[in-house]
């Protein structure tokens, strides 16, 4: 009887420890893929800056809008524009949605100077994907995708009432841009709204 009770307790303990081990293994896999994606988005930001500096867009105002890693591409582009010289005013406005960018460790003031008009950080406290992928190292610094950025000239918009997870932005972009009163919208996802 006693041995049976011990086996029951032991199997419960093993089960309780097995889930964290599985989750740790999964986060290691996520970390490697996420690190690669971050590196590639940083490189893409530099390439975007090069394209903008060449003037291929003509002599017209440029609006940059990006979601998730696309937001990071834009941010890195702004940093590259700042590093390469006097490029203030090349970008008219910027909207970052669910941005995986550190609030403290990045040069927000420098990026802000590259934007002539509005610079909007759209975030949701419900975006747990960013919390999982960035975890402890960057969460201690804060993330623009889940909180406001305290830098003069950055407009912060909390869309937690609309966004219940990271992929929710895909279906809510039109609504968010209407709330921001930004008239530039080209639908990418032409699917029916998600059921509530």
Which CATH number fits the domain that encloses residue 170?
3.40.50
Contact criterion met (CB below 8 Å) for 70 and 35: no
Would you state the pLDDT for residue 87?
80
Would you state the pLDDT for residue 68?
93
Question: Does a structural domain hold residue 17?
Answer: no
Question: Does a structural domain hold residue 74?
Answer: yes
Helix ranges (DSSP H) in 61-127: 69-83, 108-113
Would you state the pLDDT for residue 85?
84
Long-range CB contacts for residues 182-185, cutoff 8 Å, separation at least 24: 182/63, 182/65, 182/93, 182/95, 184/63, 184/65
Integer Cα distance of 2 and 96 in angstroms? 61
This prediction has a pTM of 0.77
pLDDT averaged over every residue in the chain: 81
Contact criterion met (CB below 8 Å) for 163 and 169: yes
Integer Cα distance of 38 and 40 in angstroms? 5
Task: Starting at the earlier edge strand, list the strands of the sheet with 62-67.
Answer: 62-67, 91-97, 119-123, 155-158
Both structure tokens of 94: 């910027």
Contact criterion met (CB below 8 Å) for 72 and 38: yes
Integer Cα distance of 132 and 72 in angstroms? 17
Structural domain of 88: 41-180
The 10 Å Cβ neighbour count of residue 79 is 20
Question: Does a structural domain hold residue 188?
Answer: no
Would you state the pLDDT for residue 136?
46
Would you state the pLDDT for residue 174?
87
Question: Does a structural domain hold residue 145?
Answer: yes
Question: Does a structural domain hold residue 107?
Answer: yes
Domain tally, the chain: 1
Helix ranges (DSSP H) in the chain: 2-54, 69-83, 108-113, 128-139, 168-180
Question: Does a structural domain hold residue 57?
Answer: yes
Question: Does a structural domain hold residue 33?
Answer: no
Integer Cα distance of 100 and 75 in angstroms? 10
Question: Does a structural domain hold residue 98?
Answer: yes
Q: Which residues of the chain have pLDDT under 50?
A: 5-6, 13, 29, 136, 189-190
């Amino acid at each position: 009887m006693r041995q049976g009770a011990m086996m029951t307790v032991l199997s419960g303990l093993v089960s309780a420890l097995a889930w964290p081990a599985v989750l740790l293994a999964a986060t290691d896999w996520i970390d490697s893929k996420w690190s690669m994606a971050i590196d590639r988005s940083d490189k893409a930001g530099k390439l975007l800056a090069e394209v903008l500096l060449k003037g291929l867009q003509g002599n017209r105002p440029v609006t940059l809008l990006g979601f998730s890693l696309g937001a990071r591409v834009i941010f890195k582009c702004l940093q590259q524009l700042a590093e390469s010289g006097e490029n203030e005013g090349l970008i008219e406005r910027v909207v970052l949605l669910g941005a995986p960018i550190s609030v403290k460790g990045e040069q927000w003031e420098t990026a802000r100077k590259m934007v002539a008009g509005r610079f909007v950080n759209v975030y949701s406290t419900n975006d747990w994907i960013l919390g999982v992928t960035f975890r402890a190292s960057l969460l201690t610094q804060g993330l623009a995708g889940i909180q406001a950025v305290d830098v003069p000239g950055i407009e912060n918009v909390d869309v937690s009432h609309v966004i219940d997870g990271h992929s929710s932005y895909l279906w809510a972009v039109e609504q968010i841009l209407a709330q921001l009163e930004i008239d530039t919208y080209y639908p990418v996802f032409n699917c029916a709204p998600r059921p509530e």
